[in-house]
Amino acid sequence: MARVSLDTSEMDGPDEAGDSERRLMGRSRVTVRIDYTTVDEMFSKFTRDINEGGLFVETEKPQAVGTEVAMQFHLPGSSEVLRTLGRVIRVASGAPGAPAGMGIEFDELTPKERAKINAIVRALRVEGAR
């Protein structure tokens, strides 16, 4: 079962490197255990944030940009396991006060899975605004 903790503050500001992010979709902080594999390795780490387009995995040993990963994780409030493929699109070295890790863009989500993630992200934002 996934270990989940929520910090509902939005994260649409500068990234770890200080560059402005040009995201199409807002992100919400959510920590979920994610199991992912590359061609030759398997990992179990934690996400830092998620949106319907992808997620950020905290790790001191991120994969190279362009690496394809197979992922599986539970979304908060759901008992079903979401399995999908993704691709590393960004690597963060871990600036002071920000974790090292990698941004992974979802490659293969069904419309139903995207809608489910989007609903959770929206709910987290509403909860955080209270």
> Distance of alpha carbon 122 from its chain centroid, rounded?
15
Tell me, what's the pLDDT at 1? Answer: 28
Global pTM value: 0.71
- Convert the pLDDT of each residue in 21-66 to its tens digit: 434 445 556 778 889 998 888 999 888 788 878 899 999 889 999 9
Write the CATH number of the domain with boundaries 4-129: 2.40.10.220
Phi and psi at residue 113, to the nearest 5°: -65, -40
The mean pLDDT of 3-11, rounded to a whole number, is 33
Joined tokens for residue 82: 């979401």
- Distance CA(72)–CA(76), nearest Å, equals 13
Confidence class for position 121, pLDDT limits 50, 70, 90: confident
